Structures are given as structure tokens and as C-alpha cells.
Structure 1
């Protein structure tokens, strides 16, 4: 009996360690660009891809994405979003410092003087308005083997959990919505889903607390997914879905297309 208990305890520690190793930390940056400077910013993305490529080579980040966003008629909307992927929160907090980017840029462009690289970064910053930067940790995701590539479609859903209902909201996402998304993946109506929580402490005035990424291979799959009706959903599960929806406020949703990625 004692051996059995020791074995179970060891297995629990190992499984917990494996989960901790798999946990990802993501920095989202939602960006506005003046329409007259869109081409300048799109040129900047190639520069940034090479800079972040050096960070991947050093093992400081796991990857970097640039997504274009569907903005509709909202003149205050964001046109682009970047995602930087980290293995741990310490590197995530250090990785956004300007001097870190300069070091990567010097490795990526050794033929360019530091003063010129600084000027290039300054010009790029002036071409955009970094409206939101949010540090997040992944707390749930579907089981899938999807590989991101340019052209991948996703919706970014920014949520604000009701004050005092964090646990209820996250439980609803894990126990109710995650299985629904997993069945969509099995039916070839979705490729990947994950739930992210703000990694830094937030107060009651925070604009959002969570974000979900719903990933599709193309628009056809996206629209078919929108028409999906879960025939396995019982009345009791439907009630839990309704309760889960009431535990958070969906602040806004953007449809995004992956333009550039570094891995």
C-alpha cells in the first residue's frame, strides 16, 4: 500500500512538472497604424521578423507572429496584432525592453551601425500607435496537432470575467466550452483553441482579464463552424453554457489573418 501511494505521488509530481513545462506565456500587442503609413509599417514587419528570428535562435522566445485584423467600419479599431511566445514569465517581462530588441537587431544586421538601427526602430515606432500591450499565460487548450502558417485565420475574443467570478468563468471554459471546441476539431470545423489569462494582477477597472483564440485553416471552415450545432449537448450542458456566458463580459472580437511568423 505504501509503495502504491509513493508511486501515485511520484506520478502526480511528474505530470505536474510536464504541464508546467508546457505552459506558454504570450505578449499581445494590438496596434493602430495611420492609413497613410500602412505600407511603411508592412515593410517594418520584415525587419522585425529578422530581429525576432535572432531571439528564437538564442532560445529567448519560442516564436513571434504578426496578424492583420478585420476592423469593419470602426475608425478607432486596430489594424494589426503581434504575439510573442515565451517559455517562462521572467523572459516575457524582460523581452519587451528596447535595449533587448537592439541586441537582437545588431545580431540580425551586423553590417548596419547601431545608430542606424536605433533610427530604424524609432521610425517604426512613429509609424504605429501601440494601443494595448497585454501579458498573458495560457491556462487551457485543445488537444490537436495544428501547425500555424501564413494565411491561418483566428478570432481573438477579449473577455472580462465578472468581479469575483474568475474561478466560475475559467471552470466554464475548461469544463463546458473546451469539450465543444474539441468536438469541432474532430468534425474538421476548427483547428485549435486556447484560453489565456492576464498574467499580471488586475483591478476591477481593468478592460479585460482573459482572451480566447479560436483558430481555423480558412474562411470556409470558419463559416461552417459558425453554423455548427452540437448534437451531443444535453439540456443540462446548455444550462451550464448559459451560466458560463453570464460569468464574463465579451469586450470585443477581432477576426485575424496570420501574415508573418517566426519559429
Structure 2
């Protein structure tokens, strides 16, 4: 009996550990770039591709995406979104320090001196403005094997759960909306979907508390998904959808195209 109990404990521990390792932690950064600085910013972005690749190879981060905004925000607000992926909340909050960035840059570009690298980073500060940063934890996702590639389309939906209805909203996303998205994926109408919750404590005046990532392989799939109407839903399912919609306020929808993804 004692041996069985130990094996059961180890099994539960291994399962919980595997679940924790599957959880993704993401940092979203929204950048504003003046029109006369666009070329300099894109040039710096190309430089940073190899820097983030070095960070991934060193297992400091799990990945990095660069997205260009198509719609959903005033161009004067921001035009680019980056996502950095971390393995746990501690590494996410620690992030990549200035020393880390310099070290990885010198690995990626061994012909550059430390001084030249720092000058490049200083110049970059003048080419863009970090308009907003969000620390997020993925709490639900569809089962799929979708691989991000240049040209992938994403709808980033910023949600604010109604005060006092956090659990109601998250339950609706997981039990009502996730199956709908899973069904669309199986019908070839979507690439991937995930639900993220802010990883930092939020007050009652927070603009958003959650974010959903709706991923499509291209515009054809995106528009086909918009026209799709799930005729198989029952009256009970429709009621559950309506209840779920009332538990949150959809604040913003940002449509963006993937320029590069490093894994």
C-alpha cells in the first residue's frame, strides 16, 4: 500500500510538473514609431533578430515574435507589437537585462565591440517609443500543431472581465468558446487560439484583464472564418455564449501580420 501511495504521489507530481512546463508566459510590447524613423526602426529590428536568436539558443527565452499592426489602433498610438516568450513567471519578470542584450549582440555579431553594440542600442531608443507593455500567462489553448511563419495573421483581442465575474468569464472562455475555436481549427478555418490572463495584480480600473490570440495562416482563412456561422449550436449553447459575452467587455481588437518568429 505504501509503495502504491508513493507511486501515486510521484505520478501526480510529474503530471503537475509537466503542466507547469507547458504554461507559457508572454510579454507584449507595443511600439510607436514616427514616420521619419521607420527605416531606422526596421533596420534595428533586423539587427535584433539575431540577438534574440542567441538568447533562444542560450535558453534565456523561448521565443520572440515581431508583428506589424494592420488595424485596430490609431497609427499615432503604435504600429508594431513584439511578443517575448518565457518558461516561467520569474524569468518573465526578470526579462532580458541590458547586460544580457549586449552579451547576446556580441555573440550574434562578433565583429562588433561592446561600445559599438551599446551605441546601436542607444540609437534605437531614439527610433521608437514603448507605448505599452503587458505581462501575460497563457491559461487555455486549442490542441493544434500550427507553426508560425511570415505572413501569419493574428487578432489580439483585449478583454476586461466584468468586476466580480473573473471566474465566470474564464469558465466561459474555456468551456464555451474554446470548443468553438477547436471546431473551427478542425474545419480548417483557424490556425490556433489561446487565452491569456494578466500575470500582474490589476485594480478595478484596469483597461484589460485578459487577451485572446486568434491565429490564422492568411487572409483567406481569416475571412472564411468571419463568414462561418456555426449552425450546429443548440439553444442551450447559444444561451451559454450570450452569458459568456456578458461577463466581459471587449476593449480593443488589434489585427496584425507576422514579420518574423524566432524559436
Same fold by TM-score greater than 0.5: yes
Q: After the TM superposition, which segments of 4 or more aligned residues of structure 1 sit over 4 Å from their partners?
A: 1-11
Provide the residue aligned with 1:132 in structure 2.
Answer: 132
Aligned-pair CA distance for 1:251: 1.1
Q: How many residues align?
A: 263
Equivalents in 2 of 1:189, 1:77: separation in Å?
Answer: 31
Provide the residue aligned with 1:92 in structure 2.
Answer: 92
Provide the residue aligned with 1:197 in structure 2.
Answer: 197
Provide the residue aligned with 1:212 in structure 2.
Answer: 212
Provide the residue aligned with 1:31 in structure 2.
Answer: 31
CA RMSD of aligned residues (A): 1.9
Structure 2 runs not aligned, ≥5 long: none
Aligned-pair CA distance for 1:59: 0.6
CA contact under 8 A between 1:153 and 1:215: conserved in structure 2?
Answer: yes
CA contact under 8 A between 2:159 and 2:249: conserved in structure 1?
Answer: yes
Equivalents in 2 of 1:196, 1:72: separation in Å?
Answer: 19
Provide the residue aligned with 2:121 in structure 1.
Answer: 121
CA contact under 8 A between 1:71 and 1:77: conserved in structure 2?
Answer: no
Equivalents in 1 of 2:171, 2:38: separation in Å?
Answer: 41
Aligned-pair CA distance for 1:194: 0.3
Structure 1 runs not aligned, ≥5 long: none
Residue 65 of structure 1 pairs with residue 32 of structure 2: no
Deviates most, 105-114 or 213-222: 105-114
Aligned-pair CA distance for 1:85: 0.7
Aligned-pair CA distance for 1:205: 1.8
Q: Write out per-residue CA displacement over residues 212-254 of structure 1, whole angstroms, 9 at most, x where no aligned residue.
A: 0000011010000001111231111111111111111111111
Q: Write out per-residue CA displacement over residues 138-162 of structure 1, whole angstroms, 9 at most, x where no aligned residue.
A: 0000000111111111100111111
TM-score (norm: length of structure 1): 0.94
CA contact under 8 A between 1:71 and 1:78: conserved in structure 2?
Answer: no
TM-score (norm: length of structure 2): 0.94
CA contact under 8 A between 1:65 and 1:82: conserved in structure 2?
Answer: yes
CA contact under 8 A between 2:72 and 2:252: conserved in structure 1?
Answer: no
Q: Write out per-residue CA displacement over residues 76-119 of structure 1, whole angstroms, 9 at most, x where no aligned residue.
A: 33210000111111111122432321221122222212122111
CA contact under 8 A between 2:161 and 2:209: conserved in structure 1?
Answer: yes
Residue 160 of structure 1 pairs with residue 160 of structure 2: yes
Equivalents in 1 of 2:30, 2:253: separation in Å?
Answer: 12
Aligned-pair CA distance for 1:132: 0.7
Determine helix, strand or coil for the equivalent of 2:65.
strand
Aligned-pair CA distance for 1:72: 6.4
Equivalents in 2 of 1:34, 1:12: separation in Å?
Answer: 52
Q: Write out per-residue CA displacement over residues 152-200 of structure 1, whole angstroms, 9 at most, x where no aligned residue.
A: 1110011111112111111110000000000000100001000011111
